Amino acid sequence: MGRRLKNKVDLQMKTTPVKEARSPRSGSVDPIQAEVAARFLLATAEEMGATLQRTAFSPNIKERADCSTAIFDRAGQVIALAQRVPIHLGSMVGAVDEILKRFPESEIKPGDMFLANDPYNGGGTHLPDINVIAPVFIGKRIAAYVANIAHHADVGGMVPGSEAAVCQSIYQEGIRIPPVRIMQAGKLNRDVFEIILLNSRTPDERVGDLQAQFAANTVGARSVMALFDRYGVRETEATIAAYLDFTERRFRAAIDKLPAGRYEAEDDLDGNDEHSVAKIRLALTVGKGRLRFDFAGTAAQLNCARNIPYRALLATVYTVSKALLDPEVPANAGYYRTLDISAPPGSVVGPVAPAAIGCRSISASVLGDVIAAALSQALPHKALAGSGPHHLYVLSGTDPRTGTYFVNYETLAGGMGARANRDGVDGVRVHASGSSNLPVEALEHAYPFRVERYALWDGSGGAGKYRGGMGVVRDYRVLADDIVVSLSSERQHVAARGMNGGAPGALGSFILDPGTAQERKLPAAAADVRLPRGSVLRIETPAGGGYGDLHERDPAAIDRDGREERLSATAADDVHGYNGAP
């Protein structure tokens, strides 16, 4: 497709005439109608996600699904969120408010769309995540907003992929975009568009991915308009408001089942070397229908990209709280009202500009462990041990098959911690993280690498009555001459903790040319490491911690571990003191 675009993009959202509103029956909202409307909006958000993924250009979006979609009411509250990448919620919370600060509602017209990515100026939670938000008009009035976020494989900065733990300020991480109008009455703002393309190492991908984002919002707006047309503006708004209130009541009921009190937890982020760590502290207070999360005492913001911007903190708290208290509660702003969150400005969970924040998703996995550890004290029957977060590696260079420059942004899943009643999940993204691993076939088709090993890492899960989830091992053979890789990780220095006597999970690592005389362990954070043609890069992701006394593990479970080759007979004897069924 290249960079050629029509001056007029056929993405203008048509308005529909205002339909006379019907009053809710007997002065109250019909609960069945409310459920139908809520499910319709959730299906619309999912349809937007499918549109975005199927029409995107880059493997990171079309194959890994590193994108999310949502619908907001006219006040900017989340009313439907597709179940994709939870941390993207933080990129969209408050997005409408930020737009309205800069663009009075009277200046917003049908067919407008707005774009942003900067966490310090009303954008996302790191620069590769670009938000595109569009108003939905019913007649001359804004009735709702549709939004999507997509992780672009490169938006400039000092390293390919625009994300590396070694970045020391946000100025090194890529182009920064406050909320700007990217579409005006359906016509593309070419000035803004060209600035974005000029800052990317892979502009052709950016063209396709941004157009996919525009298309996703168009699809969403049409469906939202259909809902308002069916029920009328007043009744639809009342129905949505009632559903948010229902969500709030349901989550307050879940909180009220917890024993009131104060629960404390802490854990450490890796530093860029094994001698430096940064502590995250949490004091959780359970009150009547409310949870208060206070991160006072957390370490000061870091001189690297491991900081977690405030909206990413919100998304992680929202996600972990929902997962442990009531996984089936609707994912909307109703339950956010029950959670009070405070973080010291200038801390690692509340950084201020120009702190680097690119690797916030990996750090947020450790943050998720802290939140889970505090909640586990109030919910011992649902307790969750520490987890192993994904590892990030960005491979870039020239593909000898095509002569074109590429940026391959990838993350590889770790292992979930064990629960109080079951083993941890192997090879999975944890807490607020959520995109997929890139399939081998898609990777080898798009880039000059051969995957020679892709397996669960046997024995990596922390031992216990319940075993921690295993990490993953993946080997890349380099098939080009000018390849470099940037590396970012957590849990290479500080292991995922076991709980109630369980053992910690294995640490992750990056290894060059494993099993050869040239074998070399690479740093946990690095930029532009050269990989010679024919070399092998191995990624070993960290595993989850175990739960409970390892000597209490069911012999049948140990036998199953052996049959499934998760644990050798020697390891079963060494770890559990078990040498087979009698």
Q: Decide if 401 is inside a domain.
A: yes
Q: Decide if 568 is inside a domain.
A: no
Strand partners, 308: none
Residue 582 binned pLDDT confidence (cut-offs 50, 70, 90) = very low
**pLDDT for res 432:** 84
**pLDDT for res 564:** 85
Interhelix angle for 203-231 vs 190-199, to 10°?
Answer: 140
Among 211, 227, 250, the domain boundary falls at 250
| Contact yes or no for 177/162 (Cβ under 8 A) | no
Strand partners, 133: 114, 147
Residue 502 above 50 pLDDT?
yes
| Contact yes or no for 387/416 (Cβ under 8 A) | yes
> Which residues span the domain enclosing 454?
383-548
User: Count of domains in the chain?
Assistant: 2
Structure tokens at 15: 């308005």
Q: Decide if 360 is inside a domain.
A: no
Nearest to 87 by CA among 432, 356, 532: 432
Strand 509-512 vs strand 520-522: parallel, antiparallel, or unpaired? antiparallel
Burial pattern 243-253, b for ≥16 Cβ within 10 A else e, equals bbebbbebbbe
Other residues' Cβ atoms within 10 Å of the Cβ of residue 84: 23
- Nearby residues of 556 by Cβ (< 8 Å), 6 or more positions away: none
| Contact yes or no for 226/47 (Cβ under 8 A) | no
Structure tokens at 9: 């993009």
Residue 308 above 50 pLDDT?
yes
Residue 297 above 90 pLDDT?
yes
Nearest to 312 by CA among 269, 385, 365: 365
Q: Please, what sign has the CA dihedral across residues 43, 310, 193, 205?
A: negative
Kindly state the average pLDDT of the residues 383-395: 97
Residues 46 and 195 in one domain: yes
Task: Give pLDDT tens digits for 179-222.
Answer: 999 999 999 999 999 999 999 999 999 999 999 999 999 999 99
Q: Decide if 320 is inside a domain.
A: no
Residue 22 above 80 pLDDT?
no
In the DSSP assignment, the letter for residue 498 is P
Structure tokens at 424: 């941890």
- Nearby residues of 344 by Cβ (< 8 Å), 6 or more positions away: 295, 296, 298, 350
Residue 574 binned pLDDT confidence (cut-offs 50, 70, 90) = low
Strand ranges inside 141-247, DSSP E: 141-151, 180-184, 187-188
Kindly state the average pLDDT of the residues 300-326: 95
- Nearby residues of 201 by Cβ (< 8 Å), 6 or more positions away: 154, 156, 160, 396, 405, 407
SS3 (DSSP) at 335: helix
User: DSSP of 534-564, one letter per residue?
Assistant: T-EEEEEPPPPPPBS-GGGS-HHHHHHHHHT
Task: Give pLDDT tens digits for 106-162.
Answer: 999 999 999 999 999 888 889 999 999 999 999 999 999 999 999 999 999 999 999
Residue 272 binned pLDDT confidence (cut-offs 50, 70, 90) = low
Structure tokens at 417: 């911690």
Q: Measured in Å, how far apart are the chain's first and last C-alpha atoms? A: 67
Name the more confident of 26 and 141.
141
Residue 32, Cα to own-chain centre: how many angstroms?
A: 32
Among 219, 250, 281, the domain boundary falls at 250
Nearest to 163 by CA among 398, 362, 353, 437: 362
What H or E segment, with its residue span, contains residue 442? helix 440-446
**pLDDT for res 50:** 96
Among 214, 230, 250, the domain boundary falls at 250
Nearest to 48 by CA among 26, 64, 27, 71: 71
Mean pLDDT score of the chain, rounded to an integer?
91
Residue 578 binned pLDDT confidence (cut-offs 50, 70, 90) = low
Q: Decide if 322 is inside a domain.
A: no
What H or E segment, with its residue span, contains residue 88? helix 88-92
Kindly state the average pLDDT of the residues 537-550: 97
Task: Give pLDDT tens digits for 3-21.
Answer: 434 333 333 333 333 333 3
Q: Decide if 567 is inside a domain.
A: no
In the DSSP assignment, the letter for residue 382 is G
Residue 528 binned pLDDT confidence (cut-offs 50, 70, 90) = very high
Kindly state the average pLDDT of the residues 513-539: 97
Query: Residue 270 region, left (φ>0) first, then alpha (ψ -120 to 50), else beta?
Result: beta
**pLDDT for res 19:** 37
Q: Using CA atoms in the order 575, 509, 446, 357, what is the torsion angle rounded to 10 degrees?
A: 120
| Contact yes or no for 438/64 (Cβ under 8 A) | yes
Other residues' Cβ atoms within 10 Å of the Cβ of residue 409: 25
| Contact yes or no for 144/328 (Cβ under 8 A) | no
Token pair 């993946």 is found at 474
Residues 76 and 225 in one domain: yes
Kindly state the average pLDDT of the residues 89-108: 87
**pLDDT for res 365:** 95
Kindly state the average pLDDT of the residues 500-518: 97
Kindly state the average pLDDT of the residues 431-459: 92
Q: Decide if 349 is inside a domain.
A: no
Kindly state the average pLDDT of the residues 559-568: 82
**pLDDT for res 575:** 64
**pLDDT for res 514:** 97
State how far the Cα of 372 lies from the Cα of 65, in Å rounded to an integer: 26
Q: Decide if 299 is inside a domain.
A: no
State how far the Cα of 260 lies from the Cα of 276, in Å rounded to an integer: 36
Q: pTM of the full predicted structure?
A: 0.92
